[in-house]
Amino acid sequence: MFFSANAQTDFHDYSIKYVGELGIEAGSAEYFGDLNPDGSFRAMKPEAGIFYRYFVNNYFGVSAHFLFAQLGYSDAYSKDSVQRIRNLSFDTNSWEFSLQGDFNFFDFEPGSLTHRFTPYFTLGLGALHFNPYAWYQNKKYYLQPLGTEGQGSPLYPHRKKYSLWTYDIPMGIGLKYNVSRYWNIALCATYHFTGTDYLDDVSTTYSGPAAFPPGPDGKQTIASILQDRSGIYGTPIGEAGRQRGNSSNKDHFICIGISVAWLFDSYHCPVF
C-alpha cells in the first residue's frame, strides 16, 4: 500500500539524472521602432523556434536557440496624424541564432511533484538576419537595395547601405512546468534588443527627390516611390532634411510563446 500511494504522488526515479531538453516554441512577435514608437501591439505576427537546453544543475542551464519571427508595421495603425500622413510600412522575415543562460528561481527537478514548477529568467547573445520589404501595386520590393534614405546616392556619400545582419540580445522571463517524466511545458516572453535601426528601413531624414532621378524611360523609379509614400494623402512631405525616423533609438521586438520540450536523461547508480 505504501509503494502504491507513493507512485500516485511522485514519479521521480532517483536512478535517473536529467541532462537536458530539446524543444519547439510557437507564438506571436511584435516589432517596436520608428513606425511603432509607442510600443503598441497592433501588428502581432507568428514566431516559431527550436532549442536545446543543457541542465548544469537544478537552478542553472545553458541553451542554444534558432528562432524565426515575422515582423512588420504600418503608419496606418498610428493614432498620430503626422505618422499617418508619412504612410510608410514594412514587413520582414527575421532569423536568429542565440546562446542563452537560464536561471530557475525555484529548485526545478523533473519527476518530483514538489519541485516541478519554477519561474525562470534567460539572457543571451545572438546573430539576427532581416531583410525589410514593402508592397506596391501587389508587388513585393526589398527596400535595402533601393537606398530609400539616399544610401548609394552621390548626394549622400556618407550614407552607406545598412547591413542585413546585426547582433541581438534576447532577455526573457517565463514559467516552466514538468508535465511528466519526459515532458516540460513553458510560457515565455522574450524581448530582443537589436543593434540596428533598420529593421523597418527607417532611421534618419528624407534625402529628397533629387536623390532619386527618373529612370531611363523618364518615369519615377520604384525607389523614389517607396522612399516617400505621403503623396497618397496630399502634397508629398519628403523634402531633403525632413525627419523620416529617429536614429537615436534602435529597433526591438518581443516574442511571446509556448514551448514543449522532450527531456533527455542518463542513468546513474543511486547512493543510499
Q: Helix (H, G, I), strand (E, B), or coil: what is residue 232?
A: helix
Buried b (16+ CB within 10 A) or exposed e, 26-48: ebbbbbbbbbbeeeeeebbbebb
pLDDT at position 108 over 70: yes
Q: What percent of the chain has a predicted confidence (pLDDT) above 70?
A: 92
pLDDT category of residue 226 using cuts at 50, 70 and 90:
very high
Rounded Cα distance between 51 and 190, Å, is 14
Rounded Cα distance between 31 and 118, Å, is 28
CATH number of 19-267: 2.40.160.20
The pLDDT value recorded for residue 234 is 78
pLDDT at position 270 over 70: no
Give the mean pLDDT of 164-193: 97
The predicted-structure confidence for 233-251, as pLDDT tens digits, reads as follows 878 899 999 999 999 999 9
Residue 128: CB atoms within 10 A of its CB come to 24
The pLDDT value recorded for residue 110 is 86
Least confident interval from 72-76, 110-114, 127-131, 142-146: 110-114
Please say whether the beta carbons of 192 and 245 come within 8 A: no
The pLDDT value recorded for residue 232 is 86
Give the mean pLDDT of 19-31: 97
Rounded Cα distance between 40 and 42, Å, is 6
On the 0-12 / 13-18 / 19+ scale of CB atoms within 10 A, 21 is buried
Nearest to 189 by CA among 203, 170, 205, 207: 170
The average confidence (pLDDT) of the chain is: 92
The pLDDT value recorded for residue 3 is 41
- Maximal CA-CA distance, the chain: 91
pLDDT at position 77 over 90: yes
